[in-house]
Structure 1
Amino acid sequence: MKNESISVERRSYLKRKKHRRTAIRVTQLSILVVFVALWEILADIGIIDSFIMSSPSRILRTFTNLSSNGLLEHLGVTLYETLVGFGLGVVIGLILATLLWWSDFFSKVSEPFLVVLNSLPKIALGPVIIIWVGAGTGAIIFMAVAISLIVTVLEMLNGFRNTNPQLVRMAQTFSANKRQIFTQIVFPSNLHTLFNSLKVNIGLSLVGVIAGEFLVSKAGLGYLIVYGGQVFKLDLVMASVIILAVVAAVLYEVVVILERLVTRFVSHSS
Structure 2
Amino acid sequence: MRLSKDSDGYKNYLKNVKKEKTKILLYQILIFAGFLILWEVLANLNIINTFLFSKPSDIYSLFISYVQNGQLLTHVGISVYETLLGLIIGTVLGILVAIALWWSEKLSKILDPFLVILNALPKTALAPIIIVWAGAGIEGIVVTAVTISVVVTILSAYNYFINVDEEKIKMLRSFGATKSQILFKLIIPSNIGNLINLTKINIGMAWVGVIVGEFLVSRAGIGYLIVYGSQVFKLDLVMMGVFVLAFCAWIMYAILNLIEKFYNSRR
Normalising by the smaller structure, the TM-score range is: over 0.9
Corresponding residue number in structure 2 for 1:185: 186
Corresponding residue number in structure 2 for 1:44: 44
Structure 1 position 248, deviation (Å): 0.7
Query: Is the contact made by 1:152 and 1:197 (CA closer than 8 Å) also made in structure 2?
Result: yes
CA distance in 1, matches of 2:137, 2:262: 36
Corresponding residue number in structure 2 for 1:27: 27
Once the two structures are superposed, residues 140-168 of structure 1 have per-residue CA deviations (whole angstroms, 9 ceiling, x without a partner) of 00000001101111111001000111110
Moved more, 127-136 or 144-153: 127-136
Once the two structures are superposed, residues 221-243 of structure 1 have per-residue CA deviations (whole angstroms, 9 ceiling, x without a partner) of 00000100000111000001000
Once the two structures are superposed, residues 193-215 of structure 1 have per-residue CA deviations (whole angstroms, 9 ceiling, x without a partner) of 11011010011101110011011
Query: Is the contact made by 1:118 and 1:150 (CA closer than 8 Å) also made in structure 2?
Result: yes
Corresponding residue number in structure 2 for 1:12: 12
Structure 2: gaps of 5 or more residues: none
Corresponding residue number in structure 1 for 2:246: 245
Once the two structures are superposed, residues 106-140 of structure 1 have per-residue CA deviations (whole angstroms, 9 ceiling, x without a partner) of 11121121111111111111121122111111110
Matching residue's letter, 1:108: K
Corresponding residue number in structure 1 for 2:142: 141
Structure 1 position 18, deviation (Å): 1.5
Once the two structures are superposed, residues 17-54 of structure 1 have per-residue CA deviations (whole angstroms, 9 ceiling, x without a partner) of 12111111111111111111110000001000111100
Query: Is the contact made by 1:54 and 1:235 (CA closer than 8 Å) also made in structure 2?
Result: yes
CA distance in 1, matches of 2:149, 2:264: 23
Corresponding residue number in structure 1 for 2:53: 53
Corresponding residue number in structure 2 for 1:64: 64
Once the two structures are superposed, residues 68-104 of structure 1 have per-residue CA deviations (whole angstroms, 9 ceiling, x without a partner) of 3311110000000000111100111111000000000
Establish whether residue 236 from structure 1 lines up as the match of residue 237 from structure 2: yes
- Cα RMSD over matched residues? 1.3
How much identity, in percent, do the aligned residues show?
46
Moved more, 208-217 or 109-118: 109-118
Corresponding residue number in structure 1 for 2:225: 224
Establish whether residue 199 from structure 1 lines up as the match of residue 200 from structure 2: yes
Corresponding residue number in structure 2 for 1:116: 117
Query: Is the contact made by 1:155 and 1:193 (CA closer than 8 Å) also made in structure 2?
Result: no
Query: Is the contact made by 2:98 and 2:155 (CA closer than 8 Å) also made in structure 1?
Result: yes
SS in 2 for 1:72: helix
Report the TM-score when normalising by structure 1: 0.94
Matching residue's letter, 1:57: S
Moved more, 6-15 or 198-207: 6-15
Structure 1: gaps of 5 or more residues: none
Query: Is the contact made by 1:97 and 1:153 (CA closer than 8 Å) also made in structure 2?
Result: yes
CA distance in 1, matches of 2:82, 2:184: 31
CA distance in 2, matches of 1:261, 1:9: 24
Query: Is the contact made by 2:203 and 2:252 (CA closer than 8 Å) also made in structure 1?
Result: yes
Query: Is the contact made by 2:91 and 2:150 (CA closer than 8 Å) also made in structure 1?
Result: yes
Corresponding residue number in structure 2 for 1:75: 76
Alignment of 1:160-179 (within 5 A): 160-179=161-180
CA distance in 1, matches of 2:248, 2:49: 27
Corresponding residue number in structure 1 for 2:127: 126
Structure 1 position 12, deviation (Å): 2.2
CA distance in 2, matches of 1:141, 1:50: 35
Matching residue's letter, 1:244: L
SS in 1 for 2:46: coil
Structure 1 position 261, deviation (Å): 2.4
Query: Is the contact made by 2:75 and 2:220 (CA closer than 8 Å) also made in structure 1?
Result: yes
